[in-house]
Homo-oligomer: A and B are copies of this chain.
Amino acid sequence: MNSSKKLIRHKSLKKLLKDNPFSTDEQLAQMLGVSVQTIRLDRVTLGIPELRARTRTMAEDAQTKVRAIDKKDIVGELLDLELNKLGISTLKISADMVLEKTGIARGYYMFAMANTLALAVVDAEQALTAVGNVKYKVPVSAGATLVAKAVVTHKRIDKYYIFVSIKSNNEEVFRAKFIIVSMDKRAKQEREQEA
């Protein structure tokens, strides 16, 4: 019956750390009404690292997570690009991109993929989407690797008409037409040199 106290404390400890992972052993000891040594012992048996290690792994995880978000921001990986002509990108649909209920990819990922690619194709410093026309043809599930192809159909002064088709396994799952407006201010591209 003695160990039940310990078990309860272990659970409390885990919960406390979940709520606030930045607690020191001393704080935890006070919160649980036991000595610091007991907390240390508990941590060892539970395999919980010390505060600094916890903090550190969190920070490291965050770094990679931030990078992942950055990548997501690109919405697809550029494979080929001919400015003002065409562009090709891929995007792998991961489990967190699908609707829980259906297991089908949220529609805006395809939109984002197509839109991003369309914007990339336009050779302008600043470009904005004016109009979009999209059609979802086949639902996409997690694990699918999408390939988007954007083609500039015609250009009129500052307006680009772009057609984008997204395929999965050579089957067209999505298509879109965009009108992109360039707001180019003749900004010069500066090549950055490292000192």
Contact = CB atoms under 8 A, between A and B. Distances in A.
Contacts of A133: 132-134
Contacts of A191: 104, 139
B111 A125 contact: no
Nearest to A52: B52
Contacts of A62: 58-59, 61-62, 65
A110 to B, nearest CB: 9
A33 to B, nearest CB: 17
Nearest to A54: B59
A84 interface: no
A155 interface: no
A55 B13 CA distance: 23
Given A115-B107, A115-B108, A136 B128 contact: yes
A157 interface: no
Interface string A44-55: 000000001011
Interface of A: 11, 21-22, 52, 54-56, 58-63, 65-66, 69, 75, 101-102, 104, 106-108, 111-112, 115-116, 119, 125-126, 128-136, 138-139, 141, 144, 183, 191, 194-195
Given A107-B115, A134-B134, 20 more contacts: A11-B195, A21-B63, A22-B59, A54-B59, A55-B55, A55-B56, A58-B58, A58-B62, A59-B59, A59-B62, A62-B62, A65-B65, A75-B108, A107-B119, A107-B132, A108-B111, A128-B136, A130-B135, A132-B134, A141-B195
